[in-house]
Amino acid sequence: MNAGDRLPPLEIPITRTLIVAGAIASRDYQDVHHDPEPARQKGSPDIFMNILTTNGLVGRYITDHFGPRAELRRVAIRLGAPNHPGDTMVLTGTVEEVDGDLVTVRVVGANGIGKHVTGTVTVRVPG
């Protein structure tokens, strides 16, 4: 594995179910993550995914790729275009740095309206 290597993309259909299930599993009962009307009143066309779910999906993307022995050390993400129901997010990753068994991956999750998430993940991959 080398800097510049690309991870295979992971496509995640953004269903209403995923958004609500993610919000509840992360104990986030903010109405914008499950109730369309309050979401609209706050300027959003529909409910949208909460950051904890995005964080979980980014973590899953990395450990799916590097396998069950990989240990997440740091996940830093920034949200952009929201994930609304009916969209699809495609996560892609590029190895930014390999330092011994620590690998830093730049992750981008793009949806139909732009970049939902950009971030970096540091993961320890036992040799």
Regarding 5 and contact with other proteins (CB under 8 A), the answer is no
Q: How far is the CB of 74 from other proteins (least distance, A)?
A: 5
Regarding 87 and contact with other proteins (CB under 8 A), the answer is yes
Among 35, 52, 104, 115, binds other proteins (CB under 8 A): 52
Cα–Cα distance, 30 to 52 (Å, whole number):
12
Among 64, 95, 98, 102, binds other proteins (CB under 8 A): 64
Task: Answer yes or no: are the C-beta atoms of 120 and 105 closer than 8 Å.
Answer: yes
Task: Count how many residues are written for the chain.
Answer: 127
Among 34, 47, 55, 107, binds other proteins (CB under 8 A): 55
Q: How far is the CB of 91 from other proteins (least distance, A)?
A: 9
Among 43, 99, 100, 126, binds other proteins (CB under 8 A): 43
Query: Which residue type, as a one-letter code, is found at position 112?
Result: G
Q: What is the DSSP string of 87-119?
A: EEEEEEEEEEEEETTEEEEEEEEEETTEEEEEE
